[in-house]
Structures are given as structure tokens and as C-alpha cells.
């Protein structure tokens, strides 16, 4: 897993959530990169490298759902796990219909998040036979 | 005696006296003429004396005059006898007449000597004249004095008459004044007795000197009982000190009058609210010293006021909680964020601790963040708790900028969710003001929530909310919240502060009405105007010296 390294990208405007999720991924040995907004992520060159996108739903300027739409529109097929502090059934349906792997309400358990990330990575064709736990 | 008289009248044989003159006719004639003239003269003298005595009734010693008259008559008779005896020698009769004359002359001489000292004491004519002159002068002086006296008397009488007239006029005037006074007193007394307002008069020993029936009914004491009581005695324990101070101030002249709302404790122990007005302290030198006071029973009004106050506060609280309810999704989000981070960090810690060796550096970083996020969640909770307060309003020093910042923190997520950019222009040097912080924040929260609602339909322009705090030229704090929403409908402009007026389908119509009440209680003003080029601006002023009670 050198050339085809799976990288988990996190986009969340909340600094605490970003840092915590990054630390959790690190504890599982997953490479991880973080972005504070949709615009920052879109502006980076990491879109093609993304094996799994952990995406916050509610963000100022561009929401997670809008980013999903933009990525689909641009032809990217990136497995997305949404995380949100709001319980909004409409948003959940919209996200899952558009192909999201998961839609988790904060606070979520690490098992839930990991299992969704696992699914996402598998969908992305990553080598998931490699155990996630060290 | 008969024999003496017979002897006297008996015929004698003596020779006439003329024979002694030898009947010489010249000598006879001389004697006859002389004795006749003497006799005639002597006879005229007693007549003159008698006439004199009869005319001068005031004569001193008239007896002397009579005696002298008789004596001279006798003398005259002796001379007449001398003529007689020239031819007829009746010497015995002549001697008898002389004897009578001798007796009379001796008597007269004795009498004259006897009255001599008295006669000498009689004033002489010169003396009498001098005395008369002096008397004349004295009389003149007296007459002059009498004239002056008469004049003075006349003047005095004139004055007395004038004064009497004046006095009569004065008496009439006094009688009129007294009648007027009596009528006035009766009128005042009937007002005093019939008044529905309590009226008392307090003496200088701070006791009631008088109290009308309305007052007696109000406090439940009889007038007799009140005479041994003072205003302080019937005042509620908590209001006594203030009452004492006010009485002192009025008595010492520090204050001309005072008005106060305070509590009395009735004789039966019940507490009543009264409004006390002391018109003016009477002049301490007046015959009726004391402080007159009007007392109205305002218990019912106070009760209504308190009920109204409680109702208003309950409504205000309900409105606040309603807004908080609207914010509940945002608030849940605000708490969920740090909670999620805490749980996630916790799980990561467990995993790093399971490493061999454990990755303690990561654990240490994670724990630091857990603590920070825990604090963040607790701050959100305390903000909510403060805004959900159930206690009575209370004034305290408030930093208006900090109060605004807390409201914006509470609504941060709600604003984000509605994609609203918040800008703040807070005056960097606002003074601290006395206010009820929670109520003030309720107003700001209300204005922010209204701004969010007004921009819900806006899609063709940025959604901007600007919160400003300023200091006016008059030294008042001015806070305003501007949005880029749909703006004010001119038709509704005058009604937006009315209760139950709302333009929102789910609105209650209480937000601005309650906000208005709160700002008015702070002696400020709430207003609304159209924004430029669109939207609306809501603002309020807060006087710095807003020391009013709620």
C-alpha cells in the first residue's frame, strides 16, 4: 500500500471535530487529511487522492450536500460519510439518494464511523484486506 | 332804781349853765353853735355807720361798728345836753347821759382793744390791692390756661370722636372677618370630616393631634387611640426608618414637603399600602403648630400593580423561552459539536493507550482537547441557563458589548444554518450601564431572530446581519440590528410594537411588544426604520443613568 494509499479526507468547519476525527483515524493507522471548508477542499489538489470523504453537513458558504452535488457534477465518484449535529431527515434522504455511504448524527460511535469508512474504502477499491487495526 | 330815776327827774334848783357865761350872747352863741354842730355831726355818724353795716354784709366785726355808732350817738347827746343846760339846769339828766356815754365808750374801747389783733390781721388795702393784682394776674393766667385746656379738651373730644368712629368701623370689620373665618372653618371642618381621603395633623412630639374618620377607618384606630400614637408607630416595620427620616427632614426645614408610598400596619395587624402627602410644615411659631398630612389607601392599586408586574414578567419569560425553543436545534448543535469531539478523542485515547508502548504524547494532546471541548459545552449550557432564568428581574452593572456577544454566540449556529454573515461594529469604549442583563439579551435575541426571519426569503443578495453598539451625543448607549431582509411594510409600521401583531405564520406577536416593554422599563426607546438600500434596522437606546425600578 505504497502507491495506492488510501487517504481519508475530513471536511468540517469545527476545529474540535476535525482534530478529534483526525486523531481517531490516526489511532487506526489510516492516513488522514483535514479541510476547514468545502472551498478549501475543492481548491486543493487532493480530490483524486480521496479514498473516503468524511463530510460535515452544515457549514457556512457551502454545505456538505452542495459539495456532494458539485463532486458528482464534476464526475468524481468519491465515497462520502456525512456527519451532522442536526437530525434532519430530508437532508439524510437527499444525501443517501445521491449515493452517500453513510449519514451519522453527532455524537457518533467510533465503531459506526469506522464501519462506514471501511465500506467506503472497499467501494473505492482500496486494499482493505489489510487489517485496519495495527 | 325807781328812786334813782325819780331823783334824776326831780326838779332842781341849780342855775343854768349860761349864767356861768354871764349870759354873754357871743359866748352862748359860740357854745350853742359848736355843740349843736357836734351833736348833729355825731348823730349823722351812727346813721352812716348803720347804713354802712347794712350795706356791707361782709363787714368784719360789725358789732364794733354798732357799738361805735351807739357810743357816738351818746356823745352827740351829751353835746345836745350841753346846749340844753345853758338854759335849763338838768345837770342830773346830763350826768346820767354822760354816765351812759362813759359805759358805752369804755365798752367800745374794750371792744376795740379786744378786736385789735384780729383787726390788725385783716389785710390792708395796699395788701389787698397787691393781692388783688396778683390775683388778677393769676386769674389772667388761669383764664389763659383754661382757654388752652378748653382747646385741648375740644381737640381731645374731636380725637375721641374720630377714634370712636374708627373703632366702630373696626368692630364692624372684625365682626365680618370673624363671620368669614367661622364660615371658612366650618367649611374646612366639614371637608375634613367628610373627606374620603385620610387627613391627619401631627404635633411637634410626633403624635397625631387630629385624624379624620376616613383615616381612623383606614388604620383601625380611634382618634383617642391615635392621640398617643405617631406615624412611625403605625408604619410597617420595614418602612419605619424612611418615615422617621422624612419627618425629621420636614421638621428641620430640610424639605418643604414630601410624598411617599409606604405601608401601614393596621391595629388588626393587616398591612395596607398608602400614599402619604405632606403639604407643608406649618410655621412652628403659629398657634397651631404641626404637620398636616393627606393619606390615601392605595392597597388595591398596589395589588393590581404587582399582579400586572408579575403577569408581565411571566409573559416576558414565556416569550423568552419560546425564542429559546426556536433556537433549540441550534443549541443542540452547539452542544453536540464539543460532545462529539470529546467522545471521539476519548476513543482515540483508549486506542493509543492500548499501543505497546502506549502513545502518551497523543493521549496528552487528546486529553487537553477533551478538557477544552468540555468547557465549551458547559459555556453553552450556562448561557442557556442564564437566558432561561426563572427568577425575578434584577438590575446590575452590564457590559452591553459582552451581552451582545453572548447572544451572538447563542445564535451563531442558527445564523450559520441560515447562511447569514454576521458583522459586529461594537463601540470599543462603552461605559457599563445598570440594567437587567437577561432582559436586555432577550431584546437583542429577539431582534436577531427577527432579522433571521426577515432574510429567510432572500436569495438574490447576501444575507447580512450587522449588530452595532454606539454612544450617542447625549451619552446614551444605542444598539441596533440591521438586516438585508424584506424590510418594513409601511402599512404595518405603526403596529409592529403592538401585542399579538405578527407578520409570521407561526409567530405569536409578542416579541417586539415584550421588547418594547423591557426597554421602556429601562427608560429607553425601541424603534424601527427601513435599511438602505434594503432591509430593516431595529434599535434601542439605553440611558446611562437608567436607575428606574422595574
More confident residue, B541 or A3: B541
ipTM of the complex: 0.88
Distance of CA B275 to the CA centre of its chain: 23
- When pLDDT is averaged across residues A75-94 and rounded to a whole number, the result is 87
pLDDT classification of B544: cutoffs 50, 70, 90: confident
More confident residue, B512 or B375: B375
- According to the model, what pLDDT value does residue B4 have? 78
Q: Is the pLDDT of residue B390 over 70?
A: no
Q: What is the tens place of the pLDDT at every residue in B42-80?
A: 999 888 888 888 888 777 788 888 888 888 889 999 999
Residues of chain B contacting A, Cβ within 8 Å? 329, 332-333, 336-345, 347-348, 351-352, 355, 362, 365-366, 369, 372-373, 376, 413, 416-417, 419, 421
Q: Is the pLDDT of residue A21 over 50?
A: yes
Residues in A 80-119 with any Cβ partner in B closer than 8 A: 83, 85-86, 106-110, 113
- When pLDDT is averaged across residues B208-218 and rounded to a whole number, the result is 90
Tell which of A12, A18, A106, A111 to mutate to test the B interface (max B CBs under 10 Å).
A106
- According to the model, what pLDDT value does residue B367 have? 96
- Contacts of residue B352 in chain A, CB cutoff 8 Å? 27
The partner residue sitting opposite B340, judged by closest CB among A28, A60, A106, is A106
Average predicted confidence (pLDDT) for chain B: 86
More confident residue, B3 or B156: B156
Q: Is the pLDDT of residue B329 over 80?
A: no
- According to the model, what pLDDT value does residue A17 have? 93
The partner residue sitting opposite A20, judged by closest CB among B344, B355, B417, is B344
- According to the model, what pLDDT value does residue A3 have? 46
DSSP string, A62-130: S-HHHHHHHHHHTT----EEEEESS--HHHHHHHHHTT-SEEEESS--HHHHHHHHHHHHHHTT----S
- Contacts of residue A19 in chain B, CB cutoff 8 Å? 341, 345, 369
For residue B539, give Cα distances in angstroms to A9, B427, B463, B542: 45, 15, 19, 10
Most confident of B5-9, B213-217, B489-493: B213-217
pLDDT classification of B482: cutoffs 50, 70, 90: very high
Instruction: Please name the residue of chain B whose CA is at the shortest distance from the CA of residue A88.
Output: B329
CB distance B203 to B247 below 8 Å = no
Tell which of B341, B414, B422 to mutate to test the A interface (max A CBs under 10 Å).
B341
- Contacts of residue A17 in chain B, CB cutoff 8 Å? 337, 340-341, 344
CB atoms within 10 A of CB B77: 19
Q: What is the tens place of the pLDDT at every residue in A26-47?
A: 999 999 999 999 999 999 988 8
- Contacts of residue B333 in chain A, CB cutoff 8 Å? 58, 85-86
- When pLDDT is averaged across residues B101-127 and rounded to a whole number, the result is 85
Q: How far is B463 from chain A (nearest CA, A)?
A: 11
Residue closest to B263 by CA, chosen among B222, B290, B231:
B231
Q: What is the tens place of the pLDDT at every residue in B396-450?
A: 889 999 999 988 988 888 888 888 999 999 999 888 888 888 889 889 998 998 8
- According to the model, what pLDDT value does residue B493 have? 72
pLDDT classification of B549: cutoffs 50, 70, 90: very low
CB distance B502 to B550 below 8 Å = no
Judge: A27–B417 Cβ closer than 8 Å, yes or no: no
How big, in percent rounded to 5, are the helix, strand and coil portions of chain B?
A: 60, 15, 25
Q: What is the tens place of the pLDDT at every residue in B248-299?
A: 887 777 877 788 899 999 999 999 999 998 866 556 666 666 788 899 999 9
- According to the model, what pLDDT value does residue B288 have? 63
Q: Is the pLDDT of residue B129 over 80?
A: yes
Q: What is the tens place of the pLDDT at every residue in B3-38?
A: 777 887 776 778 888 888 888 888 899 999 999 999
- When pLDDT is averaged across residues B304-323 and rounded to a whole number, the result is 80
Tell which of B331, B332, B337 to mutate to test the A interface (max A CBs under 10 Å).
B337
Residues in A 37-76 with any Cβ partner in B closer than 8 A: 58-61
Q: How far apart are CA B255 and CA B282, in angstroms?
A: 12
Q: Strand B477-483's sheet: what is its strand order?
A: B421-426, B464-471, B477-483, B536-542, B525-530
Q: What's the whole-model pTM score? A: 0.52
List all residues 6 or more positions away from B204 whose beta carbon is below 8 Å from its beta carbon: B251, B284, B289, B290
Put residue B230 in one of left, alpha, beta given phi > 0 → left and psi -120 to 50 → alpha.
Answer: beta
Residues in A 4-23 with any Cβ partner in B closer than 8 A: 14, 16-17, 19-21, 23
Question: For a pLDDT cut of 90, what percent of chain B falls above it?
Answer: 33
Q: How far apart are CA B5 and CA B9, in angstroms?
A: 6
Judge: B416–A59 Cβ closer than 8 Å, yes or no: yes
Q: How far apart are CA B130 and CA B123, in angstroms?
A: 10
Q: Is the pLDDT of residue A127 over 60?
A: no
- According to the model, what pLDDT value does residue A133 have? 44
Instruction: Please name the residue of chain A whose CA is at the shortest distance from the CA of residue B377.
Output: A16
Q: Is the pLDDT of residue A23 over 90?
A: yes
Q: What 3-state class would DSSP assign to B448? A: helix
- When pLDDT is averaged across residues B331-338 and rounded to a whole number, the result is 86
**DSSP assignment, residue B19?**
G
Burial of B171 (0-12, 13-18, 19+ CB in 10 A): exposed
- When pLDDT is averaged across residues B98-123 and rounded to a whole number, the result is 86
- When pLDDT is averaged across residues B137-144 and rounded to a whole number, the result is 89
Q: Is the pLDDT of residue B325 over 90?
A: no
Average predicted confidence (pLDDT) for chain A: 85
Q: Is the pLDDT of residue B235 over 80?
A: yes
Q: How far apart are CA B219 and CA B297, in angstroms?
A: 10
Amino acid at each position: 500500500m505504497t502507491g495506492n494509499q488510501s487517504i481519508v479526507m475530513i471536511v468540517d468547519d469545527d476545529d474540535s471535530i476535525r482534530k478529534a476525527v483526525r486523531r481517531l483515524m490516526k489511532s487506526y493507522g489510516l492516513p488522514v487529511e483535514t479541510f476547514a471548508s468545502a472551498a478549501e477542499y475543492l481548491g486543493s489538489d487532493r480530490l483524486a487522492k480521496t479514498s473516503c470523504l468524511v463530510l460535515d453537513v452544515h457549514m457556512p458558504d457551502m454545505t456538505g450536500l452542495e459539495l456532494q452535488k458539485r463532486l458528482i457534477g464534476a464526475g468524481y465518484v468519491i465515497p462520502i460519510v456525512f456527519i451532522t449535529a442536526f437530525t434532519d431527515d430530508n437532508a439524510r434522504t437527499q444525501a443517501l439518494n445521491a449515493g452517500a455511504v453513510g449519514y451519522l448524527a453527532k455524537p457518533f460511535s467510533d465503531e459506526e464511523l469506522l464501519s462506514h469508512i471501511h465500506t467506503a474504502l472497499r467501494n473505492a477499491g482500496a486494499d482493505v484486506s489489510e487489517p485496519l487495526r495495527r | 332804781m325807781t328812786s334813782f330815776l325819780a331823783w334824776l327827774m326831780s326838779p332842781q334848783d341849780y342855775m343854768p349853765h349860761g349864767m356861768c357865761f354871764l349870759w354873754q350872747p357871743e359866748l352862748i352863741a359860740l357854745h350853742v353853735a359848736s355843740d349843736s354842730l357836734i351833736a348833729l355831726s355825731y348823730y349823722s355818724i351812727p346813721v352812716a355807720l348803720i347804713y354802712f353795716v347794712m350795706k356791707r354784709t361782709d363787714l368784719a366785726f360789725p358789732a364794733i361798728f354798732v357799738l361805735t355808732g351807739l357810743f357816738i350817738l351818746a356823745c352827740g347827746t351829751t353835746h345836745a345836753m350841753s346846749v340844753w343846760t345853758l338854759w335849763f339846769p338838768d345837770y342830773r339828766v346830763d350826768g346820767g347821759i354822760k354816765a351812759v356815754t362813759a359805759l358805752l365808750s369804755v365798752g367800745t374801747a374794750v371792744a376795740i382793744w379786744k378786736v385789735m389783733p384780729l383787726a390788725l390781721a385783716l389785710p390792708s388795702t395796699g395788701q389787698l390791692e397787691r393781692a388783688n393784682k396778683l390775683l388778677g394776674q393769676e386769674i389772667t393766667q388761669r383764664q389763659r390756661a383754661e382757654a388752652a385746656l378748653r382747646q385741648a379738651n375740644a381737640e381731645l373730644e374731636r380725637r375721641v370722636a374720630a377714634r370712636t368712629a374708627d373703632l366702630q368701623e373696626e368692630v364692624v370689620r372684625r365682626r365680618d372677618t370673624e363671620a368669614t373665618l367661622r364660615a371658612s372653618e366650618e367649611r374646612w371642618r366639614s371637608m375634613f370630616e367628610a373627606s374620603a381621603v385620610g387627613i391627619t395633623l401631627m404635633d411637634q412630639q410626633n403624635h397625631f393631634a387630629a385624624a379624620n374618620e376616613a383615616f381612623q377607618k383606614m388604620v383601625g384606630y380611634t382618634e383617642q387611640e391615635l392621640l398617643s400614637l405617631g406615624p412611625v408607630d403605625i408604619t410597617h416595620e420595614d418602612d419605619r426608618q424612611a418615615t422617621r427620616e422624612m419627618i425629621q427632614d420636614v421638621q428641620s426645614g430640610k424639605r418643604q414637603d414630601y410624598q411617599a408610598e409606604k405601608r401601614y400596619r393596621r391595629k388588626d395587624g393587616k398591612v395596607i399600602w398608602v400614599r402619604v402627602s405632606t403639604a407643608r410644615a406649618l410655621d412652628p411659631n403659629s398657634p397651631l403648630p404641626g404637620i398636616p398630612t393627606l393619606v390615601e389607601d392605595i392597597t388595591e392599586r398596589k395589588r393590581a400593580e404587582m399582579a400586572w408586574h408579575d403577569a408581565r414578567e411571566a409573559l416576558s419569560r414565556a416569550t423568552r423561552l419560546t425564542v429559546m425553543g426556536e433556537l433549540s436545534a441550534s443549541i443542540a448543535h452547539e452542544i453536540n459539536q464539543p460532545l462529539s469531539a470529546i467522545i471521539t478523542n476519548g476513543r482515540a485515547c483508549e486506542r493509543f493507550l492500548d499501543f505497546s508502548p502506549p502513545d502518551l504524547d497523543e493521549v496528552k494532546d487528546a486529553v487537553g482537547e477533551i478538557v477544552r471541548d468540555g468547557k465549551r459545552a458547559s459555556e453553552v449550557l450556562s448561557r442557556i441557563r442564564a437566558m432561561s432564568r426563572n427568577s425575578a428581574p434584577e438590575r446590575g452593572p452590564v457590559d452591553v458589548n459582552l451581552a451582545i456577544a453572548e447572544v451572538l454566540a447563542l445564535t451563531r449556529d442558527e445564523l450559520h444554518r441560515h447562511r447569514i454573515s454576521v458583522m459586529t461594529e461594537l463601540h470599543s469604549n462603552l461605559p457599563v450601564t445598570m440594567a437587567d442583563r437577561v432582559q436586555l439579551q432577550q431584546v437583542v435575541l429577539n431582534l436577531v431572530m427577527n432579522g433571521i426571519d426577515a432574510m429567510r426569503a432572500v436569495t438574490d443578495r447576501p444575507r447580512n446581519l450587522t449588530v452595532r453598539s454606539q454612544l450617542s451625543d447625549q451619552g446614551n448607549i444605542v444598539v441596533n440590528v440591521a438586516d438585508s431582509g424584506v424590510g418594513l411594510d409601511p402599512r404595518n409600521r405603526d403596529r409592529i410594537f403592538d401585542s399579538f401583531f405578527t407578520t409570521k405564520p407561526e409567530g405569536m406577536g409578542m416579541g417586539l411588544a415584550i421588547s418594547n416593554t423591557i426597554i421602556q422599563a429601562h427608560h429607553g426607546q425601541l424603534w424601527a426604520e427601513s435599511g438602505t438600500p434594503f432591509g430593516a434596522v431595529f434599535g434601542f437606546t439605553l440611558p446611562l443613568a437608567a436607575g428606574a425600578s422595574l
